[in-house]
């Protein structure tokens, strides 16, 4: 079972639990149509996975809405800045944003954030799921996970590993790796996957727990070396790279996901239209092909499924965050 199927199954179970026992028929509402360009806020810089997903969807969505969809990169604080901007936007359908584990679950668990992850947003639907991956600079004397563990232990915590930010999925992937392998390392947070991969290629940092889409082209070109992916199954984009569990790290699992949010009080008709068009875009063959080429699985869902999945992820990760003593820097 691949990452998409795992998440889809969880979404269906969560949605089933959320369905009321009675339903009241309602008259169909008039379809909402945007009257100006739609702003799609992404909380990380160009070059990272969130930006890649938004730009793959952008042209199809612009055509579907009959109005331009503009990707607006607002990086900083592991997505917190972008979510603050989204919260303050007009709830009229013309501003949407990327919801992800960093901004919705991790950051609220390690610091005070200027929004409520549930009360301040309308949940539109899940977008994609993807694995993380441990990649290293070619100068690192390790061809596999066992050799990397031995190298890192010999350095007694002096081996640095990059992530896209404090409390990011990559950071948690590293924390889980350190815990399960008893391998101390030093975390180096960046303001997104783009800057981190740039420094890894340049040799400024030796290792990076990255989202897989950031890594695929660089692994294939030989600029970086892939050691293991973090899901239950190998990635279609890099089938030769083993999972952490295959490489001997028992019990290891860390997957990433992105969904779509709008400001709270966005009208139901707007939510319905946004969900429909994003769902259709994610199911289109050209979008699916582009995403898979980068190791990303399209995972469209209903608003209720997305909300319930985020709540289930919160229950899973917050205890791990607390146990690791992660705090905002």
- pLDDT, position 329: 64
Q: How confident is the model at residue 320 (pLDDT cuts 50, 70, 90)?
A: confident
Alpha carbon distance 95, 241 (integer Å): 38
Architecture of domain 3-17+35-129+257-324: 3-Layer(aba) Sandwich (3.40)
Contact 43, 96 (CB under 8 A): no
Q: How confident is the model at residue 276 (pLDDT cuts 50, 70, 90)?
A: very high
Query: For residue 192, is it left (φ>0), alpha (ψ between -120 and 50) or beta?
Result: left
CATH number of 131-229: 3.40.190.10
Mean pLDDT of 182-195: 90
Q: Where are the domains of the chain?
A: 3-17+35-129+257-324, 131-229
Burial grade of 217 (CB within 10 A; 0-12, 13-18, 19 or more): middle
- pLDDT, position 27: 45
- pLDDT, position 15: 53
Q: For a pLDDT cut of 70, what percent of the chain falls above it? A: 91
Q: Which residue has the higher pLDDT, 121 or 328?
A: 121
Compute the mean pLDDT over every residue in the chain, rounded to the nearest whole number. Answer: 90
- pLDDT, position 22: 44
pLDDT at 279 over 90: yes
Q: State in Å, rounded, how far the first CA of the chain is from the last one.
A: 37
Alpha carbon distance 207, 201 (integer Å): 10
């Amino acid at each position: 079972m691949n990452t998409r199927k795992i998440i889809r199954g969880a979404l269906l179970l969560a949605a089933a639990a959320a369905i009321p026992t009675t339903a009241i028929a309602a008259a169909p509402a008039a379809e909402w149509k945007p009257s100006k360009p739609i702003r799609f806020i992404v909380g990380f810089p160009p070059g990272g996975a969130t930006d890649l997903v938004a730009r793959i969807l952008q042209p199809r969505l612009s055509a579907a809405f009959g109005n331009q969809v503009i990707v607006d990169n607002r990086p900083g604080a592991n997505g917190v800045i972008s979510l603050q901007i989204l919260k303050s936007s007009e709830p009229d359908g013309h501003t949407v944003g990327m919801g992800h584990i960093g901004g919705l679950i991790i950051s609220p668990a390690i610091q005070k954030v200027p929004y409520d992850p549930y009360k301040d947003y309308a949940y539109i639907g899940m977008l994609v799921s993807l694995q993380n991956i441990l990649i290293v600079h070619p100068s690192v004397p390790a061809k596999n996970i066992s050799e990397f563990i031995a190298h890192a232990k010999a350095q007694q915590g002096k081996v640095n590993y990059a992530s896209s930010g404090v409390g990011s999925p990559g950071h948690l992937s590293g924390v889980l790796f350190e815990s399960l392998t008893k391998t101390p390392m030093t975390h180096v947070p960046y303001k997104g996957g783009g800057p981190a991969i740039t420094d890894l290629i340049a040799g400024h940092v030796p290792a990076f727990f990255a989202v897989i889409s950031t890594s695929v082209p660089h692994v294939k070109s030989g600029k970086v070396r892939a050691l293991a992916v973090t899901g239950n199954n190998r990635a279609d984009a890099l089938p030769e790279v083993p999972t952490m569990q295959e490489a001997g790290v028992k019990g290891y699992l860390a997957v990433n996901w992105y969904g779509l949010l709008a400001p709270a009080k966005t009208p139901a008709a707007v939510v319905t239209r946004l969900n429909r068009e994003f769902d259709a875009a994610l199911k289109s063959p050209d979008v699916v092909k582009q995403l898979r080429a980068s190791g990303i699985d399209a995972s469209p869902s209903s608003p209720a499924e997305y909300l319930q999945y985020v709540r289930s992820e919160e229950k899973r990760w917050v205890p791990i965050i607390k146990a690791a003593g992660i705090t905002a820097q």
